[in-house]
Structure 1
Amino acid sequence: MKAIAYYRVSTDQQGRSGLGIDAQRYKVQVFLGDDFPPVAEFVEIESGGSSGRPELRKAIAEARRRSLPLVVAKIDRLARDVGLFMSILDQGVDVRFAELPELPTGAAGRFMLQQFAAVAELERGLIAERTSAALQAAKARGKRLGGYRGGRKPDHRLAAAARRAKADAFAADMGETVRSAVDLVGGLRPAARWLNEQGYSAPSGGARWTAEAVRRVVARAEELCRD
């Protein structure tokens, strides 16, 4: 199938590394088939809740000009805001998602897409809230916790909560990148090797990524989305 492809990552670091883009490109190519590379590709480095999307506007214009569908790897790569998402669908372009190859057309398909977009928006809000709370807790840990220096002994439950908050903040920031690494290079150990080679900081001040560290970050990021 001939199509226009649109890819989006949320951070400059992901854009420079090409990691998130490569994972999306792979999903789109599988959806289109090996014999049909995208007619044109547009890459955006922008938050999913932002409406300032120059590359998306170009992609929509190109899809409309060529009368071709616009293919995106996942719903949240198009937008994590329901209003923005639906406004894009209303621009007269046939938008397809590689993760939903069997989605029906017409009113039923549009309704389903709206529900999926609502879930993506909820995830964005929850991640933002958890990240803010985690950073505040980590900051509090720096002021109130630490080694015992006499006087009142530290609250070990508070210390444990602060460690969890710090891990949550790290997973919220790096979860998407780490998940993309696993998808792209195929497995926890290869993903750890790739992250080390690219110079990504390991969690908890560790010198290097390990397969176990990758597994924990992915699991914690998924838990953040569910909570």
Structure 2
Amino acid sequence: MGGYKAPPAAYLRVSTLRQGMSGLGLDAQRKAIETLLDGQSYKEFIEIESGKKSKRPELEKAIDYCRKHKAKLVIAKLDRLARNVHFISGLMETGVDFLAVDMPNADRFMLHVYAAMAEEEGRRISERTKAALAAAKERGVELGRNGKVLAIKNRKEAELFAQAIAMSFDRLGITQDMNLQSIARVLNEGGIKTRKDGIWYKTSVARLLDRV
């Protein structure tokens, strides 16, 4: 990583708040980056959101940092940035030099090809999911009209409850580096009940974070 004036920017991304809170996915990405850098210091940027979204504030901060300090952007895997060729092209146009740990010697052409392959895989996953849902519907796995309305109502209430609980995280001292069991303990000690007026377990915390 010689020739750069500042430590590289390490960009890590997970798709859900639950993954960010539990550390799932982040540790593997961080280890891959640290192996490549071989003890070199770096500035870390962590994004928690879906890869389908084009707006990523932490990535923008990482790019600004690289521009300002003439540093390189390092990621663990190319598809951590996006399964979208247009997005990768836009990143290249920023002028920031970046590399993926799993393809450290890839040139611009290879990065385009790899991004296209990742995008195609994402499309196929979506098609397989739709096909599975259609097959389930044909087998009669379908809620009645009243059942659908009730399911939507319950889901909305669960989401609103989860958002309300999440707003108390700062007050309770709940942080991203805490695991599910620790979060459950803090919620229980803080007198916070589940939506069904019960106590918190790892599984109920996981469901809560999935809805935030």
What TM-score comes out, normalization by structure 2 length? 0.61
Higher relative contact order (CA 8 A, sep 6+): 2
SS of the residue 1:143 aligns to: coil
Amino acid at match of 1:112: M
- Would the alpha carbon gap of residues 30 and 199 (structure 1) be closer, same or farther in structure 2, given more than 3 Å must change? farther
- What is the match of residue 90 of structure 2? 87
The structure that is helix-richer by fraction is 1
- Alignment pair present for 1:14 and 2:12: no
- What is the match of residue 169 of structure 1? none
Output aligned runs, 1:187-206, within 5 Å. 199=203
Query: How many matched pairs?
Result: 141
- What is the match of residue 111 of structure 2? 113
Amino acid at match of 2:55: G
Output aligned runs, 1:152-163, within 5 Å. none
- Would the alpha carbon gap of residues 198 and 117 (structure 1) be closer, same or farther in structure 2, given more than 3 Å must change? farther
Cα distance, 1:75 vs. partner?
0.6
- What is the match of residue 128 of structure 2? 130
Task: Tell me how far apart the structure 2 counterparts of residues 141 and 16 of structure 1 sit (CA, whole Å).
Answer: 38
- Would the alpha carbon gap of residues 130 and 4 (structure 1) be closer, same or farther in structure 2, given more than 3 Å must change? same
SS of the residue 2:25 aligns to: helix
What 5-or-longer segments of structure 2 have no aligned partner? 2-6, 143-200, 205-212
What 5-or-longer segments of structure 1 have no aligned partner? 104-108, 145-196, 201-227
* 8 Å contact from structure 1 (residues 6, 72) kept in 2: yes
Cα distance, 1:131 vs. partner?
1.6
- Alignment pair present for 1:37 and 2:35: no
C-alpha distance after superposition, 1:48-83 (max 9, x if no partner): 221111111011001111111000001100111100
SS of the residue 1:19 aligns to: coil
- Would the alpha carbon gap of residues 23 and 198 (structure 1) be closer, same or farther in structure 2, given more than 3 Å must change? farther
- Alignment pair present for 1:27 and 2:27: no
- What is the match of residue 78 of structure 2? 75
Task: Tell me how far apart the structure 2 counterparts of residues 128 and 20 of structure 1 sit (CA, whole Å).
Answer: 21
Task: Tell me how far apart the structure 1 counterparts of residues 18 and 100 of structure 2 sit (CA, whole Å).
Answer: 25
Task: Tell me how far apart the structure 2 counterparts of residues 12 and 136 of structure 1 sit (CA, whole Å).
Answer: 29
Task: Tell me how far apart the structure 2 counterparts of residues 26 and 142 of structure 1 sit (CA, whole Å).
Answer: 46
Cα distance, 1:198 vs. partner?
6.0
* 8 Å contact from structure 1 (residues 79, 85) kept in 2: yes
Aligned-residue identity in percent: 49
Task: Tell me how far apart the structure 1 counterparts of residues 13 and 66 of structure 2 sit (CA, whole Å).
Answer: 17
Task: Tell me how far apart the structure 1 counterparts of residues 138 and 17 of structure 2 sit (CA, whole Å).
Answer: 28
Please point out which of 64, 70, 86 is paired with 2:67. 64
Cα distance, 1:137 vs. partner?
2.7
- Would the alpha carbon gap of residues 89 and 135 (structure 1) be closer, same or farther in structure 2, given more than 3 Å must change? same
* 8 Å contact from structure 1 (residues 17, 198) kept in 2: no
Task: Tell me how far apart the structure 1 counterparts of residues 138 and 41 of structure 2 sit (CA, whole Å).
Answer: 51
Task: Tell me how far apart the structure 1 counterparts of residues 105 and 40 of structure 2 sit (CA, whole Å).
Answer: 19
Cα distance, 1:3 vs. partner?
0.8
Cα distance, 1:132 vs. partner?
2.2
What TM-score comes out, normalization by structure 1 length? 0.57
